[in-house]
A and B are shown apart, each in its own frame.
Chain A
Amino acid sequence: MKSIIPREVETLWTLFTAPTVWALHFIACYVTVAVFCAKRLPSSFTFDGVRIALVIVTALALAMIVLSGYLAWRQWGFGAADPPHDEPTRDARTLFQGFATLLLSGLSFVAVVFASIPLIFIAECQP
Chain B
Amino acid sequence: MDDDRLTGVGRPIRSGRDIGRDGISGGHRPAIRATIILLLFPLLASCSGVQSALDPAGSEASAVATLFFVMLTGGAVIWAGVVGLLFHAARKRRTYSEKGAGQLILWGGAVLPSVILAALLSYAVWLMPNVRPWFQAEDRGLRRVEVTGEQFWWRVRYLDDGGAVVFETANEVRVPTGERVVFLLKSPDVIHSFWIPVLGGKMDMIPGRENRLTLQAEKPGTYRGVCAEFCGASHALMAFTVHAMEPEAYEDWYKARQASSGTRDAQGLELFLRHGCGACHGISGTEARGAIGPDLTAFGERGSVGAGTLANEKDQIARFLRDPDAVKPEARMPHFSMLPEAEIDRIAAYLKGLR
Contacts and interface: CB of A to CB of B under 8 A. Distances in A.
Dominant secondary structure at the A interface? helix
Contacts of A41: none
B253 interface: no
B98 A82 contact: yes
Interface residues of B, number: 13
Nearest to A113: B118
B80 interface: no
Most buried by A among B110, B114, B121: B114
Contacts of A117: 118, 121-122, 125
Interface in B79-119: 98, 110, 114, 117-118
A121 interface: yes
A114 B125 contact: no
A108 to B, nearest CB: 12
Interface string A49-74: 00000000000000000000000000
A106 to B, nearest CB: 7
A120 B125 CA distance: 9
Contacts of A114: 117-118, 121
B110 A118 contact: no
A83 B272 CA distance: 83
Contacts of A121: 122, 125-126, 128
A126 B136 CA distance: 10
Given A117-B125, A121-B125, A121-B128, A106 B110 contact: yes
A110 interface: yes
A82 B97 CA distance: 13
B188 interface: no
Contacts of B125: 117-118, 120-121
A123 interface: yes
Interface residues of A, number: 12
Contacts of B129: 123
A56 B118 CA distance: 20
B68 interface: no
Interface string B216-235: 00000000000000000000
Most buried by B among A113, A120, A121, A126: A121
Nearest to B122: A117
A110 B128 CA distance: 22
B132 to A, nearest CB: 9
Interface in B114-161: 114, 117-118, 121-122, 125-126, 128-129, 134
A114 B126 CA distance: 13
Interface string B191-205: 000000000000000
A121 B110 CA distance: 25
Nearest to A127: B212
B1 to A, nearest CB: 24
Given A117-B125, A118-B125, A121-B128, 7 more contacts: A82-B98, A113-B118, A114-B117, A117-B118, A121-B122, A121-B126, A126-B134
21 contacts: A82-B98, A106-B110, A110-B114, A113-B118, A114-B117, A114-B118, A114-B121, A117-B118, A117-B121, A117-B122, A117-B125, A118-B125, A120-B122, A120-B125, A121-B122, A121-B125, A121-B126, A121-B128, A123-B129, A126-B134, A127-B212
List of 10 A-B pairs having minimum Cβ-Cβ separation, nearest first? A121-B125, A110-B114, A126-B134, A118-B125, A121-B126, A117-B122, A117-B121, A117-B125, A114-B121, A114-B118
